[in-house]
Amino acid sequence: MATKNNLDAYKENHDVQVIDTNRKMRVAIIGCGWIADSHIASYLNQPDVEIVAGCDLIPGKAAAFFKKHGLEGVKTDYASHKEMLADKSLNLDCVSVCTYNRQHAPCAIDSLNAGLNVLLEKPMCVTLEEAVELRKAEKASGKVLSIGFQPRFDNNMKMIKKIVESGELGKVYYIQTGGGRRRGIPTPFGTTFIEDKTAGLGALGDIGCYALDCVLNAVGYPKPLTVTGYKSAYFGTDPSYYPNHPEYAEKFTTDDFAAGFVRMENDIILDFRIAWAMNINTPGDSIILGTKGGLRIPSTDCWNGSIGGPLVIYHEVAGVQTETIIPVQTTPYNLFDMKIRTFLDASKNGTPAPVPSSEIIYNQAILDGINKSNACGHEIKIEIPEI
């Protein structure tokens, strides 16, 4: 059950005041790896959820996963996610897609086609073409597709958006964003994050998508028009990076550093860089420059969904150039619980997805554009069909 504090905090911060516990949402999980633990923990914090099924490509993994979480009677004897989705006896309402990136689009599209509401982990998928197919499936199904960006619920992220929307910065024309780690290629549970066949995108997709969402959500997700992109993998492909697993170097087939220069509609320029590993502590704070003010968003050493210190607005007051410091805001609830709760509410009430694919498709278009521009070695046009 949810802790009283979490639910109370939720009610204070969201439109839905009462959770209808008479109507339980029947939920399944596709992909029972690391992040599925967080999904289950947050579903179990909700008073209106029944976890009824789950599947994983690795035989026995789903059964062991639910056992670990103390859940009995969850159906897991499926050879594939398709077999699970075809099991009408489950009477499912919602599914969390927690697979590695390459399996995001197929699993989410099949789930939408089966008439389910889908919470899809970040990044949305690997390519723009997949994102377009996801949007089409969502539209045809009439169901909710929400993308798993829990930092959206952090009060500091909300403050960044509020500052931009207040007009305090004037017209925004230049954004610098990104971040990264000095050494932080994620291999604690094997190689699914670093291999092209499972992840598709490396640091670019894994933490790059968060850095983009932080600023693009604030400025209203302008459409990206062109991009020049670059990627490298100097650390990931070096066996000495992994003293205990030198064999990972050969498996490393994604990127550990990426950068991009993006022109967006409304005459906004985006300058972006992201790293899982680099020889510097940070590639710089995020900044949003406007005609009346500039905002500094201190970088974190890893994307944990928040900010590295107080926000600073640089502006002019009565002719004096001055700085206004916005103290770091606390967030009185668990971000993951909010990601799950807002998804459940949208699914129950047929209201818009809390993190809509109509926005995140632009995030995906930038990741994909950097990838494609890197491959061809020059700037490319981003073309997103109307859906």
Ligand X SMILES: NC(=O)c1ccc[n+]([C@@H]2O[C@H](COP(=O)([O-])OP(=O)(O)OC[C@H]3O[C@@H](n4cnc5c(N)ncnc54)[C@H](O)[C@@H]3O)[C@@H](O)[C@H]2O)c1
Could you tell me if 148 and 124 are in contact, meaning their C-beta atoms sit under 8 angstroms apart?
no
Q: How far is the CB of 305 from ligand X (least distance, A)?
A: 7
Q: Check if the beta carbon of residue 222 is closer than 8 Å to that of residue 216.
A: yes
Q: Whole-number minimum distance, CB 210 to ligand X, in Å?
A: 8
Report the alpha-carbon angle 67-37-51, nearest 5: 60
Name the amino acid, one letter, at 238. D
| Beta-carbon count within 10 A of 24 CB | 14
Q: In sequence order, what are the beta bridge partners of 119?
A: 96, 146
Nearer residue to ligand X within complex by CB, 107 or 268: 107
Q: Which of 90, 367, 370, 53 minimizes the C-alpha distance to 208?
A: 367
Minimum distance from residue 102 beta carbon to ligand X (Å): 8
Neighbouring C-beta atoms of residue 125, cutoff 10 Å: 31
H runs (alpha helix) in 92-225: 104-113, 128-141, 155-166, 203-206, 208-218
Q: Report the nearest approach of ligand X to the CB of residue 67 (Å).
A: 15
Q: Interface mask (CB under 6 A) for ligand X, residues 163-192, using x and -?
A: --------------------------x--x
Nearer to ligand X, 31 or 283 (CB): 31
CA–CA dist 381, 376 (Å, integer): 12
Residue among 102 and 315 whose Cβ is closer to ligand X: 102
CA atoms within 13 A on the CB side of 150: 18
Min dist CB 80 to ligand X, Å, is: 6
Closest residue to ligand X in the complex (CB): 33
Nearer to ligand X, 37 or 168 (CB): 37
Q: Site residues for ligand X, window 80-139 (CB under 6 A)? A: 81, 98-101, 103, 107, 121-122
Footprint of ligand X on residues 26-65 (CB under 6 A)?
A: 30-36, 55-58, 61
Among the candidate windows 9-17, 25-33, 177-185, 280-288, which touches ligand X by CB under 6 A? 25-33
Least CB distance to ligand X at residue 29 (A): 9
**Is residue 148 a contact point for ligand X (CB under 6 A)?**
yes
b/e string for 177-195 if b means 16 or more Cβ within 10 A?
bbbbbeebbbbeeebbbbb
Q: How far is the CB of 33 from ligand X (least distance, A)?
A: 2
Interface ranges with ligand X (CB under 6 A): 30-36, 55-58, 61, 81, 98-101, 103, 107, 121-122, 148, 150, 189, 192, 206
